[in-house]
Amino acid sequence: MSTFSAPIAEQIWDMKYRFKDAAGQPIDETVEDSWRRVARALAAVEKKPDLWEAKFYNALEGFKFLPAGRILAGAGTERSVTLFNCFVMGTVPDSIDGIFDMLKEAALTMQQGGGIGYDFSTIRPKGAEVKGVAADASGPLSFMDVWDAMCRTIMSAGSRRGAMMATMRCDHPDIEKFITAKQDSARLRMFNLSVLVTDPFMDAVKANGSWDLEWNSRVYKTVQARTLWDQIMQATYDFAEPGVIFIDRINNKNNLNYCENIAATNPCGEQPLPPYGACLLGSINLAVLVSDAFEAKAAL
């Protein structure tokens, strides 16, 4: 009898998480071998590794607990890959050197298997003056296209393409272009997009007031807050993007708000992180931990 509940589950394990040699031949003969590999690798740093290997294996056995995918794919393989799934990169500088330094960091992180979130609000808007070169800025969307091409090029570890989240503040002058960017079906396909919504913006929406789009203290355009909100909602309804992140709520509720500022999330949006933050998301399978499910005597 197969350990897997469905053929597709076994196929995903074989494609994404099964340890194979350079020729593609399996080293993990069974999923139990994968669990043993992970348990042994994670227990190696403990004072009593044999004890903790048994505990870790028991948690994994029968799919009671699923660790983050990079752990399942990379632990115990001795390969140069990250065991963290998701990152938020450092603040993107508003300079050509700084932008491409961040691009390199992102490429190396994705090569190791990590997904990344970025806040592109720090890049000057399209048409802004670039002093010293007698040119106008191309804007954050143009650099997001470069990131998107890089992500398509790099195959992340374990046959996993890179995943990215891009955020932009609701008062950035290019926010309207950001909202509609993925309505072009060929553009920014490697990104999820989310608008950073602030409390003052929501107050303006409720009051049907005006809203300044500004960067570096210069107002580039003034719009009706409710019109901008409706644009976001319509795009989300029609194209499933962008999402919204209530960023002031996140920072106000963050226990570490005295020492960090959050402006982005992991690629799927469930974990806000500060610059250079990382996260691992494991899954507890409650379905296999409940006895007599849906009965009066149901228990964990």
Catalytic residues: 266, 268, 270
Q: Burial, 61: exposed, middle or buried (Cβ in 10 Å; 0-12, 13-18, 19+)?
A: middle
Cα–Cα dist 18/27, whole Å: 8
Distance CA 152, CA 107 (A): 10
Q: Any idea what the Cα angle at residue 246 is, between residues 244 and 248, rounded to 5°?
A: 150
Contact residues for 260 (Cβ-Cβ < 8 A; gap 6+) = 254, 274, 275
The bridge status of strand 160-161 relative to strand 155-156 is: antiparallel
Residue 257 has which token pair?
């708000």
Segment (H or E) for 12: helix 7-12
Q: Using CA atoms, how far apart are residues 146 and 102, in angstroms rounded to an integer?
A: 12
| SS3 of residue 182 by DSSP | helix
Kind and range of the H or E element at 22?
Answer: none
d(CA 264, CA 140): 15
In whole angstroms, give the CA distance from residue 235 to residue 229: 10
Q: Measuring CA to CA, how many Å separate 14 from each of 59, 206, 263?
A: 21, 51, 36
Query: Tokens 């992340």 belong to which residue?
Result: 156
Q: Which amino acid makes up residue 22?
A: A
Q: In terms of DSSP bridges, do strands 164-169 and 191-197 run parallel, antiparallel, or are they unpaired?
A: parallel
